[in-house]
Structure 1
Amino acid sequence: MDVDLRKLRYFVAVAERLHFGRAAEALHIAQPVLSRQIRALEFELKVQLFVRTRRATELSPAGEQLLADAGPLLASAEALRRRATRAARGADSFTVGFMPGLIVTAAVRTLRERHPGLTVEVVRTTWDDQTEAIHDGRVDIGYVRLPIDQRGLRVRPLMSEPRVAVLPTGHRLAGKDMTDIADLADEHLLQDPDAVPEWRDIATELRRPGRRRTGPVFHAVEEKLEHVAAGRGVVVLPLSVVTFYTRPDVTYVPVTDIAPNQVCLAWDSARRNPLIGEFATIATDLVTDGQ
């Protein structure tokens, strides 16, 4: 049996909101149409996907399983579409992904100069999608920050850079030449603790059962800096990120006893585009030459 991807997208919209009305509004379709499509999907799969009462809509066990499986399936379909679109455009375009704080201008300019008819685009990625953008075809090659899931990728080390503690300007550590991770043990971290395992292993708020401070984990650099400036916690970032986003209400102190951040180039190991290898060589040579 073939699964209708359109019905699957409708299902995911409802499953993520657990509300048919809000899902229909997000999909820009009428609620009765959405309900019919979900019933049709249930009929095709011969399972009940939702348990609906007057007060709530919940996923059935089959619905929970389908939601877990639907994400990768829809992502693969979207990646296929993007790769086909890119192939249809031919070899006249090339896209480079880059993480915050990294400047790729010199490498992009060099590639353009070597291939005057080539359109070279750049796409800013984040911690959440830096590898996803490679897999789904949004970028041909990406400047990534480790750690990443390297399955299906070729990864070439490029450089490393120190990491710093980002603090509000009135912080007790502000103005110090350097610090160590133990000085941050009593701080609240505004990012995923797994991103700073050295802090996670000694953090006061993680070592006391039930004492972990609640609150969102922020992913965008701009969000992190806003909350640091407001005195709600600290973050640990690569040095280039902080210097790129300089602002007067935030300062930073080098942390001496944590591993540096590793910057690499990464691309889909199945791709055979010769421009990928050429760009990787250009970028590596520029770093070697100190540009």
Structure 2
Amino acid sequence: MRYFVAVARHRHFGRAAAELHIAQPVLSRQIRALEGELRAQLFRRDKRATELTDAGRRLLADAEPLLAAAEALQRRVARGADRFVVAFMPGLIVTDPVRRLRERHPGLAVEVLRTTWNDQVEVLRDGRADVSLVRLPIDQRGLTVRPLTHEPRVVVLPAGHRLAGKESVAMTDLAGERLLQNPDAVAEWRAVATVAAEPVPALAVEEKLENVAAGRGIVVLPLSTATYYTRPDVTWSRIDGIPDNQVSLAWVAERRDPLLDEFADLLKRSS
């Protein structure tokens, strides 16, 4: 399956073989064997191109998540059964449920992992974490997601900004401001924006605040995150008329570890 995905990605047997560090005839034989097992042609080849057939496209849609799940399983097994990793987004506190889980299971190493908007789900899919406290929206496919709480969202501004000092603002007040984060996280801004979002890479909260303080633009954060990262050169105001940020606990749906439900219960009690 890994060989198939490599060929599908490169659309070229030679380049795929080079990536896999195998001879091209070996790769061709493996693909023919897979096609024989599936009783379907996966690639259409001629002298100029290698293209996926309809059957190949259907297989590719399932093959990549299947391989990712297998690699995540390998990582969890290599990590050992005596470790449980809790991932969390900035501003969210997991101290109490983590401490209680350690008390209940003295032989269990309960560890924490800080995430960002971009990897809060990825750490589950690749096996780095067992559970993740996430901020919606996320891609929920293949996950169990349990709602925990919600909180207002605020806009973070430079201390000298024209809106600084206002207790609350409307999203339309921010239409001309440049957003310094993935606009998918702030759909309400995208609906009214009159400027494009600043093309910035995936930034940690501290980096976002540095850019806000420097006057490059604004960010929209959950209230707990904004208050946790207090600094004198930025300020924040609540945003009227937009939904709260939803906080949930997520894990890979196919897993059946009783520790998942146990931690979810501990977290719910501490919320």
Q: TM-score of the superposition, structure 1-length normalised?
A: 0.73
**Which residue, out of 50, 53, 74, partners 1:81?**
74
**Kept after mapping to 2: 8 A contact 1:10/1:37:** no
Q: Quote the Cα distance in structure 2 between the aligned partners of 1:196 and 1:263.
A: 15
1:229-240 equivalent positions in 2, closer than 5 A: 229-240=213-224
Equivalent AA in structure 2 for residue 268 of structure 1: V
**Kept after mapping to 2: 8 A contact 1:99/1:145:** yes
The list of structure 1 runs, each at least 4 consecutive aligned residues, that deviate by more than 3 angstroms after superposition, is: 5-12, 33-49, 59-62, 65-74
**Kept after mapping to 1: 8 A contact 2:155/2:237:** yes
**Kept after mapping to 2: 8 A contact 1:42/1:48:** no
**Kept after mapping to 2: 8 A contact 1:190/1:218:** no
What SS does structure 1 have at the residue aligned with 2:138?
coil
**Kept after mapping to 2: 8 A contact 1:190/1:217:** no
| Equivalence for 1:227 | 211
**Which residue, out of 155, 162, 167, partners 2:152?**
162
Equivalent AA in structure 1 for residue 77 of structure 2: A
Please, which runs of 5 or more residues in structure 1 have no aligned partner? 21-32, 50-58, 206-211
User: Judging changes above 3 Å, is the alpha-carbon distance between structure 1 residues 36 and 11 closer, same or farther for their aligned structure 2 residues?
Assistant: farther
**Which residue, out of 113, 116, 132, partners 1:123?**
113
State the shift of 1:67 in Å: 9.9
CA shift digits 1:75-123 (9 cap, x unpaired) = 334213113324xx23x22111111111111110111112222210111
Please, which runs of 5 or more residues in structure 2 have no aligned partner? 33-42
Identity of aligned residues (%): 55
**Which residue, out of 95, 101, 124, partners 1:105?**
95
1:266 is aligned to 2:250: yes
| Equivalence for 1:172 | 162
State the shift of 1:69 in Å: 8.5
Q: Quote the Cα distance in structure 2 between the aligned partners of 1:60 and 1:248.
A: 58
What SS does structure 1 have at the residue aligned with 2:147?
strand
Q: Quote the Cα distance in structure 2 between the aligned partners of 1:155 and 1:181.
A: 29
What SS does structure 1 have at the residue aligned with 2:215?
coil
Give the RMSD, CA atoms, in angstroms: 3.4
Q: Quote the Cα distance in structure 2 between the aligned partners of 1:247 and 1:6.
A: 51
Q: Quote the Cα distance in structure 2 between the aligned partners of 1:268 and 1:75.
A: 12
Q: Quote the Cα distance in structure 2 between the aligned partners of 1:267 and 1:35.
A: 31
Which stretch has the larger CA shift, 236-245 or 127-136? 127-136
Q: Quote the Cα distance in structure 2 between the aligned partners of 1:150 and 1:76.
A: 15
Equivalent AA in structure 2 for residue 129 of structure 1: D
How many residues are matched? 253
